[in-house]
């Protein structure tokens, strides 16, 4: 992943799934290196992506090619930032909960005016054009020759997926005089990149509807005429759980509403109908009415790359996130911070706005990409924002992804990022059964197999079926194991990639399976071109992240309003207690398979082209398994009745 790489929505899912190293517990500082041509140099984090191999090398980039980059500033005390972020987040530390205000964090750890001036002067002296300056970075542009000279590297073109992209051949560096002032540089590689700029956002995506029949709660309805599965008739999938059902399943009591807490949501772009849709959804589904000012938006001046990023597809993501947070924490404030595009630079800007203005204590993020697309440079830029948030008492929650360990889609076992960061809470996914009277029945790790109904209707073809999707998880190849996972994550997982214990994902989990998903309401484009509000069932870890964010808002209310901040140390401290449901793939006992029946419109809208009936087997996540104890599908488990209450005495 690069500063110019688009992010994918990490967990938006319905009938067909939609798209969606530096991250150890301390930021690396620049190191000295000998450079006969430039004198003493301070090397930065590598910006060379994994795809830039010698075999793919197509030679030097044209000297006249324009390069745009961001030079991230290390701030006054990068190692101190990482250390303090750990101290205030660890319940065992004397500094636990002693957060700084945004102004205090900026004064103590932010870049000084002198540093900004020093780096700016150097960039100008190298012939680079400074195009912008923020508290976190200086953006620059220049031709290949100038950029290579400034950062003491060479830029080559590399073949990748039928295209050619630029990347550095060696680790960049800056003059030794800038040691401690420059954190890293991003943008030296440019895959993928489309120079587009749009003044307005496109209309919503085409309408999607679930066909039914439905169950209103898990197991309510079954068709006796359909074939059996696992020795019984599988029930129809639920229409979509509501906030009341999910709050009851995860232990939220009537007065535990997230009062006094604000949750931020970051995504790309912004739905033009979000306020109207959220209000209509709450009215129809028994959620509390939004008070004036409860839902606000912080948006960029303009948007870009709307076609490349499929901007309208992000409207549903924002809608899901907002409605799920409100359903779980009806009194919590919600601030949506939209990115100008789905690229790292713009999403980092959104995260930076949350931290710089301390817009919220809890941040839900339902987007990500493959770890193999990440460079140490981009990881360092993300981690700096996460650490600044931690010292202010802000916690970041990221979806773990919807493709298991990604081996089925990429051929390589790997986790997603930024969920791989040691400074965020990675949220995995489950299949959830909520029964009559909103009673929690069981959960499995989310992983789905699909088998269709035979032509004669007497059997399920290819039973149990083919893998479709499942909760993201696994072991990072880039991020070492953080302190809070030691003693909890089995060695078989933490050392799955070698002798060194590494970060394992996820940390915690909640409902994600689109077959046991959440009912969402959104304005969509109908076949006749009209825009109408409609509702449908949705899932993915894009659902799990805002559900956990809402639970955290309720827990913070019980925490006497004191910010929970970076939650992982506390999440792992509660491991093995009544705070969690220990989720396994066989909650009803060995050999007792679980499945639901779905009937879907062929065209996704109505029955004009017919319907299809299929069986969805649950609890089969690619090569991952939810087992007793910590696992790489559900982490420590999902919140149980004791989770929210446990914050009352901490």
Q: Tens digits of per-residue pLDDT, 53-68?
A: 999 999 999 999 999 9
State the residue for tokens 């009062």. Answer: 259
Q: What is the DSSP string of 396-437?
A: EEEE--SBTTSHHHHSS---EETTT-TTSEEEEEEEEEE-GG
State the residue for tokens 């710089």. Answer: 356
Beta partners for 273?
none
Backbone region of residue 75 per phi and psi (left: phi > 0; alpha: psi in -120 to 50; beta: other values): left
Q: How confident is the model at residue 190 (pLDDT cuts 50, 70, 90)?
A: confident
Q: What is the pTM of this model?
A: 0.93
What token pair was written down for 107?
């004064």
pLDDT value at residue 7 = 55
Determine the Cα–Cα distance for residues 69 and 599; give it in Å rounded to an integer.
Answer: 49
pLDDT mean over 336-353: 95
Residue 173 has pLDDT above 50, yes or no: yes
Classify residue 215: in a domain, yes or no. no
pLDDT value at residue 536 = 94
> In the 8-state DSSP scheme, what is residue 21?
-
Q: Which of 167, 198, 229 delimits the end of a domain?
A: 198
Classify residue 48: in a domain, yes or no. yes
Residue 264 has pLDDT above 60, yes or no: yes
pLDDT value at residue 22 = 33
Instruction: Please check whether residues 297 and 188 belong to one and the same domain.
Output: no
Residue 545 CA: distances (Å) to CA of 36, 89, 100: 50, 20, 26
Instruction: Please check whether residues 169 and 269 belong to one and the same domain.
Output: no
Q: Which stretch of 28-42, 128-142, 244-258, 278-292 has the lowest confidence by average pLDDT? A: 28-42
Determine the Cα–Cα distance for residues 601 and 370; give it in Å rounded to an integer.
Answer: 32
- Classify strands 362-365 and 395-399 as parallel, antiparallel or unpaired: parallel
Instruction: Please check whether residues 556 and 430 belong to one and the same domain.
Output: yes
Instruction: Please check whether residues 104 and 160 belong to one and the same domain.
Output: yes
Q: How confident is the model at residue 591 (pLDDT cuts 50, 70, 90)?
A: confident
Half-sphere exposure of 266 (CA within 13 A, CB side): 31
User: In the chain, pLDDT over 90 holds for what percent of residues?
Assistant: 85
Classify residue 217: in a domain, yes or no. no
Instruction: Please check whether residues 324 and 254 belong to one and the same domain.
Output: yes
Residue 90 has pLDDT above 50, yes or no: yes
pLDDT mean over 361-386: 94
Helix-strand-coil percent breakdown of the chain, rounded to 5? 25, 30, 45
Q: What is the DSSP string of 224-263?
A: TTSPPBTTBPPBBPBS-B-HHHHHHHTT--TT-S-TT-EE
Instruction: Please check whether residues 273 and 150 belong to one and the same domain.
Output: no
Model confidence over 437-486: pLDDT tens digits? Answer: 999 999 999 999 999 999 999 999 999 999 999 999 999 999 999 999 99
Q: What is the DSSP string of 62-87?
A: PTT-EEEEEEEE--S-HHHHHHHHHH
pLDDT mean over 561-587: 96
Work out how many domains the chain is built from and give that number: 2
pLDDT value at residue 17 = 28
> In the 8-state DSSP scheme, what is residue 460?
B
In the three-class reduction of DSSP (H, G, I as helix; E, B as strand; rest coil), residue 111 is classed as coil
Determine the Cα–Cα distance for residues 142 and 126; give it in Å rounded to an integer.
Answer: 10
In contact, 414 and 405? CB cutoff 8 Å: yes
Determine the Cα–Cα distance for residues 551 and 645; give it in Å rounded to an integer.
Answer: 11
Instruction: Please check whether residues 52 and 169 belong to one and the same domain.
Output: yes
Classify residue 637: in a domain, yes or no. yes
> Beta-carbon neighbour count of residue 50 at 10 Å?
14
Classify residue 203: in a domain, yes or no. no
Instruction: Please check whether residues 193 and 250 belong to one and the same domain.
Output: no
In contact, 355 and 393? CB cutoff 8 Å: no
Determine the Cα–Cα distance for residues 192 and 646; give it in Å rounded to an integer.
Answer: 45
Determine the Cα–Cα distance for residues 494 and 475; give it in Å rounded to an integer.
Answer: 6
Determine the Cα–Cα distance for residues 549 and 16; give it in Å rounded to an integer.
Answer: 25
Determine the Cα–Cα distance for residues 581 and 577; give it in Å rounded to an integer.
Answer: 9
Determine the Cα–Cα distance for residues 525 and 75; give it in Å rounded to an integer.
Answer: 47
Backbone region of residue 135 per phi and psi (left: phi > 0; alpha: psi in -120 to 50; beta: other values): alpha
CATH of the domain at 288: 3.40.50.200
Instruction: Please check whether residues 316 and 457 belong to one and the same domain.
Output: yes
pLDDT value at residue 9 = 55
- Classify strands 425-434 and 447-452 as parallel, antiparallel or unpaired: unpaired
Determine the Cα–Cα distance for residues 25 and 87; give it in Å rounded to an integer.
Answer: 11
In the three-class reduction of DSSP (H, G, I as helix; E, B as strand; rest coil), residue 89 is classed as helix
In the three-class reduction of DSSP (H, G, I as helix; E, B as strand; rest coil), residue 125 is classed as helix
pLDDT mean over 522-543: 94
In contact, 109 and 388? CB cutoff 8 Å: yes
pLDDT mean over 517-523: 96
- Classify strands 333-339 and 197-198 as parallel, antiparallel or unpaired: unpaired
Model confidence over 552-567: pLDDT tens digits? Answer: 999 999 999 899 999 9
What token pair was written down for 578?
């009544």
Q: How confident is the model at residue 130 (pLDDT cuts 50, 70, 90)?
A: very high
Q: Which of 183, 198, 213 delimits the end of a domain?
A: 198
Classify residue 230: in a domain, yes or no. no
Which pairs from 530-533 meet CB under 8 Å and 24+ separation? 531/203, 531/204, 531/273, 532/207, 533/276, 533/277, 533/280
Residue 506 CA: distances (Å) to CA of 115, 304, 484, 560: 37, 32, 13, 27
- Cis? peptide before 575, omega within 30° of 0: no
User: In the chain, pLDDT over 70 holds for what percent of residues?
Assistant: 92
Domain that holds residue 108: 8-198
Q: Which of 143, 176, 198 delimits the end of a domain?
A: 198
pLDDT value at residue 409 = 87
Beta partners for 535?
521
State the residue for tokens 């949501």. Answer: 265
Classify residue 351: in a domain, yes or no. yes
Residue 193 has pLDDT above 80, yes or no: no
Residue 6 has pLDDT above 90, yes or no: no
Residue 398 has pLDDT above 50, yes or no: yes
Instruction: Please check whether residues 247 and 172 belong to one and the same domain.
Output: no
Between 26 and 417, the more confident residue is 417
pLDDT value at residue 600 = 94
Residue 198 has pLDDT above 60, yes or no: no
pLDDT value at residue 13 = 42
- Classify strands 31-33 and 197-198 as parallel, antiparallel or unpaired: unpaired
> In the 8-state DSSP scheme, what is residue 306?
T
Determine the Cα–Cα distance for residues 176 and 327; give it in Å rounded to an integer.
Answer: 53
pLDDT value at residue 31 = 45
pLDDT mean over 116-141: 97
In contact, 183 and 380? CB cutoff 8 Å: yes
pLDDT mean over 377-406: 96
Residues in the chain: 650
Please name which of 465, 397, 394 lies closest in space to residue 429, comparing C-alpha atoms.
397
Instruction: Please check whether residues 299 and 419 belong to one and the same domain.
Output: yes
Classify residue 312: in a domain, yes or no. yes
pLDDT value at residue 332 = 98
Residue 335 has pLDDT above 60, yes or no: yes
Determine the Cα–Cα distance for residues 273 and 523; give it in Å rounded to an integer.
Answer: 7
Instruction: Please check whether residues 258 and 185 belong to one and the same domain.
Output: no
């Amino acid at each position: 992943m690069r500063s110019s790489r688009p992010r994918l929505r990490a967990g938006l899912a319905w009938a067909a799934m939609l798209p969606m190293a530096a991250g150890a517990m301390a930021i690396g500082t620049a190191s000295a290196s000998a450079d006969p041509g430039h004198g003493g140099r301070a090397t930065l984090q590598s910006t060379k992506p994994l795809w830039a191999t010698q075999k793919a090398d197509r030679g030097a980039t044209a000297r006249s090619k324009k390069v745009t980059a961001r030079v991230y500033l290390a701030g006054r005390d990068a190692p101190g930032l990482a250390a303090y972020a750990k101290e205030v987040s660890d319940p065992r530390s004397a500094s636990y909960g002693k957060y700084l205000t945004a102004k205090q964090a900026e004064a103590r750890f932010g870049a000084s005016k002198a540093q900004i001036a020093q780096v700016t002067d150097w960039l100008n002296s190298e012939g680079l054009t400074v195009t912008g300056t923020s508290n976190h970075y200086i953006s620059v542009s220049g031709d290949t020759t100038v950029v290579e000279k400034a950062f003491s590297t060479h830029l080559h073109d590399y073949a990748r997926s039928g295209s050619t992209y630029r990347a550095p051949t060696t680790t960049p560096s800056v003059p030794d005089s800038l040691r401690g002032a420059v954190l890293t540089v991003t943008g030296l590689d440019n895959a993928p990149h489309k120079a587009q700029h749009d003044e307005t956002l496109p209309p919503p995506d085409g309408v999607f509807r679930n066909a039914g029949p439905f169950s209103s709660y898990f197991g309510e309805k079954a068709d006796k005429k359909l074939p059996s599965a696992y020795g019984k008739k599988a029930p129809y999938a639920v229409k979509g759980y509501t906030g009341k059902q999910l709050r009851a399943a995860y232990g939220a009591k009537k007065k535990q509403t997230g009062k006094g807490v604000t949750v931020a949501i970051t995504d790309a772009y912004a739905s033009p109908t979000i306020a109207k849709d959220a209000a209509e959804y709450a009215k129809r589904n028994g959620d509390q009415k939004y008070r004036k000012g409860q839902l606000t938006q912080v948006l960029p001046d303009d948007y870009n790359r709307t076609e490349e990023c499929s901007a309208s597809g992000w409207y549903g993501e924002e809608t899901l996130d907002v409605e799920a947070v409100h359903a779980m924490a009806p009194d919590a404030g919600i601030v949506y911070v939209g990115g100008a595009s789905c690229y790292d630079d713009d999403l980092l800007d959104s995260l930076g706005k949350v931290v710089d203005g301390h817009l919220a204590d809890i941040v839900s993020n339902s987007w990500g990409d493959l770890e193999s697309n990440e460079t140490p440079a981009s990881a360092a830029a993300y981690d700096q924002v996460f650490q600044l948030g931690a010292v202010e008492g802000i916690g970041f929650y990221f979806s773990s992804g919807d493709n298991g360990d990604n081996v089925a889609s990429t051929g390589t076992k790997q986790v997603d990022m930024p969920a791989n960061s040691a400074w965020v809470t990675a949220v995995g996914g489950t299949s959830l059964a909520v029964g009559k009277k909103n009673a929690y029945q069981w959960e499995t790790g989310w992983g789905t197999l699909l088998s269709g109904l035979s032509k004669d209707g007497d059997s399920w073809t290819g039973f149990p079926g083919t893998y479709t999707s499942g909760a993201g998880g696994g072991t990072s190849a880039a991020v070492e194991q953080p302190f809070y996972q030691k003693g909890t994550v089995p060695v078989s997982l933490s050392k799955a990639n070698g002798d060194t214990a590494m970060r394992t994902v996820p940390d915690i989990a909640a409902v994600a399976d689109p077959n046991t998903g959440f009912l969402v309401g959104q304005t969509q484009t109908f076949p006749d071109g009209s825009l109408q509000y409609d509702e449908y069932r949705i899932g993915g870890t894009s659902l799990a992240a805002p559900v956990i964010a809402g639970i955290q808002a309720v827990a913070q209310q019980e925490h006497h309003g004191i910010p929970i901040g970076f939650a992982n140390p506390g999440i792992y401290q509660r491991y093995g207690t009544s705070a969690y449901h220990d989720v396994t793939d066989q909650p009803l006992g060995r050999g007792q398979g679980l499945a639901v029946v779905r009937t879907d419109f062929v065209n996704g809208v109505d029955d004009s082209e017919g319907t299809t009936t299929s069986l969805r087997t649950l609890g089969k996540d690619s090569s991952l398994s939810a087992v007793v104890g910590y696992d790489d599908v559900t982490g420590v488990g999902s919140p149980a009745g004791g989770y929210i209450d446990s914050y009352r005495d901490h």
